[in-house]
Amino acid sequence: MSHLPLTTLSEDEKAFREAIREFSLSEIKPLVRQMDLDAKMNPDLVKKLFEMGLMGIESPEKYGGAESSFTMACLAVEELARVDGSVSVLVDVQNTLVTNAFVNFANSAQQEKYMPQLAQEKVGAYALSESVSGSDAFALKLRGEKKGDKYVLNGHKLWITNAGEAEIFLVFANIDPEKGYKGITGFIVEKSMSGFSVGKKEEKLGIRASSTCELIFENCEVPEENVIGEVGKGYKIAIETLNEGRIGIGAQMLGIAQGAYDAALEYTKTREQFGKAIAQFQGVQFQLAEMRTQIEAARLMVYNAARLKDAKQDFILQAAMAKLMASQVAERVTSRAVDLFGGNGFTNEYPVEKFFRDAKIGQIYEGTTNMQLQTIAKAELAR
């Protein structure tokens, strides 16, 4: 079956990966340090991501997308992360969360209106988290009230990735708190809608060029036709989309780990101590061997989960394991890379300190490490 050769890529996938690699090195790498210092995504680079077709990888061709596979999206996320985790997560959220939700849950009118914009020019964001709604994803305080042919939203969202650049937001609010999570409904909110604004931008440890902002809803009026999916079924959209998104985060962490490893490997070949390159010392060789093995193990798990998703087979357990493994590997490998660079690794003149900072978020967003462990344990106990 097509999903079984885990790390074997088709010729099209290899060509696509190589194109993304060349794009990352030529267009992104020269901007990485300044974007990190400024904590801001270069707007011209965002335009180039659209021009490259990276913002609509799975979108149908009739909407201006590439109509490709989920695996292709993960390959793009991985390759971008080898150079910059911030650019990687912008593309990841656009494809594995926002576009996926439109493909699977939006009606034809919504798809025709919004998917061409998302594929060609407008950044999307996925707004679920709140101050009291993190791992307890459905403890939402954002309220929606039906008034005529509109819903009026009031409340806040926090830690929303892409919020600074986005013009289209998938927002989850509870329209009937007495029903608990069965009152949660998804809405398509445009940045220009009355009563909606983007608030404080967070100053972060890592992925600093990726915007993470508060969203403010003050009597925000959303047309009834902008309900995505069924009323009261927003929890279903959230769960299913995040299950897919976790594979994308696994791919991001895989790329970050690979980027740090690549830098460390080259550095150890040129850095000399005691009259020879440190790569010639067995202790260093063993560390590199462990790093490479861990990355390959994570790659097997991420690719397997993506292939299962493309094959329309059950992938929830594999997605949780892939994110768990890849995020842990990213933290270990990037930390070891800093060690191998010695004092240089602790400065921002070399890339590994940024890989190290960027890696930490992988164990937090789109489901913490503990939530992945819980998912895995529940699946095993139910066998």
Active site residues: 366
- Integer CA distances (angstroms), 240 to 36, 93, 98, 104, 235, in order: 32, 14, 12, 9, 9
Q: What does DSSP say about strands 272-273 and 276-277: parallel, antiparallel, or unpaired?
A: antiparallel
Q: What is the dihedral of CA 368, 370, 371, 374, to 10 degrees?
A: 160
Nearest-angstrom CA–CA distance, 34 and 86 = 12
- Classify residue 190 by burial, with Cβ atoms within 10 Å: 0-12, 13-18, 19+: middle
Phi then psi dihedrals of residue 188, to 5 deg: -95, 115
Place of tokens 């993960």: 74
- Quote the CA–CA distance of 328 and 270 in Å, as a whole number: 28
| Tokens representing residue 86 in the block | 């911030």
Alpha-carbon distance of 46 to 49, in angstroms, equals 5
- Cα 167 from Cα 202, distance rounded (Å): 18
Instruction: Count CB neighbours of 15 within 10 A.
Output: 11
**Cβ atoms 155, 126 nearer than 8 A:** no
Distance separating alpha carbons of residues 292 and 143, to the nearest angstrom: 48
The H or E element containing residue 281 is none
Secondary structure (DSSP) of 172-224: EEES-GGGGGGGEEEEEEETTSTTEEEEEEPP-SS-TTS-EEEEEEEEEEEEG
* Structure tokens belonging to residue 297: 């193990």
